[in-house]
Amino acid sequence: MDIYKFIDGEQPKPSQKPKTPWPTKAAMEQVYEQNFWGGDNADFYSGEGSHLPAIVKPYLEAVTAFLTSFSPPLTVCDLGCGDFNVGKNLVPHTKKYIAIDIVPSLIVRNQQLFRAPNLEFYCLDIATAPLPPADCAILRQVLQHLSNAEIQGIVNKLAAYKYVILTEHIPNGAFKPNKDIISGQGNRLKVKSGVDLLATPFNLKPKEETLLSAVVLNDGKGIIKTTLLQL
């Protein structure tokens, strides 16, 4: 799986030379090394979506309510755990919490900082590698950074999970979903689009879809929407 260096979320114009492809791991390592998502004083920082209370609090409230409704608790697989500022709050409400990211140094750091008997970290490319079994998968603002081909590689494996908690940053109002982008730090907002797994080309068909939370950002910067899909 390849992505491109210095991604801005837009396809190159016909007059431009294609950007040099990078392996996904190398590109995402650069995102953290260069603090492309902010957090200049942090060793790893997964962006405002993982740290701003106005975004994180309603998400945690909704997902915690879902997880605590089960007895016995669910096994959860966090596909793209990032700096784990959010996931750490969900671990106590699960039977097992499996957290995955593609950046090796980030996983090592998380293993050192976050420890619990039911917590495991793995370094995997979720688009290409087999995924651990679980009851519920979490994809929190992950797919928005990936090309359609990479998203499809993940969607093909989601049927292994009974529940998927999906969070995406989408435009305000109506938009054309799933415009393709080059994977990287950016997302589809620059092309006035967002990820919708139920739409073409992914056409995921869940048994049930439930809105868990929606945070409208200031200055027309879109909506961060969290949906529960029962597969």
Query: Would you list the domain boundaries of the chain?
Result: 2-230
In the predicted model, is pLDDT for residue 31 greater than 90? no
| Euclidean distance between CA atoms 47 and 39, whole angstroms | 7
pLDDT of 120 > 90? The answer is yes
Answering whether pTM is above 0.75, one says: yes
Instruction: Specify the CATH superfamily of domain 2-230.
Output: Vaccinia Virus protein VP39 (3.40.50.150)
pLDDT of residue 60: 97
Question: What is the Cα–Cα distance from 138 to 87, expressed in whole angstroms?
Answer: 10
For residues 213, 216, 217, 221, the Cα torsion angle rounded to the nearest 10 degrees is 110
Give the angle subtended at the CA of 12 by the CAs of 81 and 201, to the nearest 5°. Answer: 55
Which spans in 2-158 are helix H? 24-33, 53-67, 104-113, 148-155
Which of 229, 203, 215, 144 is CA-nearest to residue 179? 144
Residue 67, classed as helix, strand or coil, is: helix
Q: Mean pLDDT of all residues in the chain?
A: 86
Q: What is the pLDDT of residue 36?
A: 53
Looking at residue 212, its amino acid is L
Q: How confident is the model at residue 138 (pLDDT cuts 50, 70, 90)?
A: very high
Report pLDDT for 50.
72
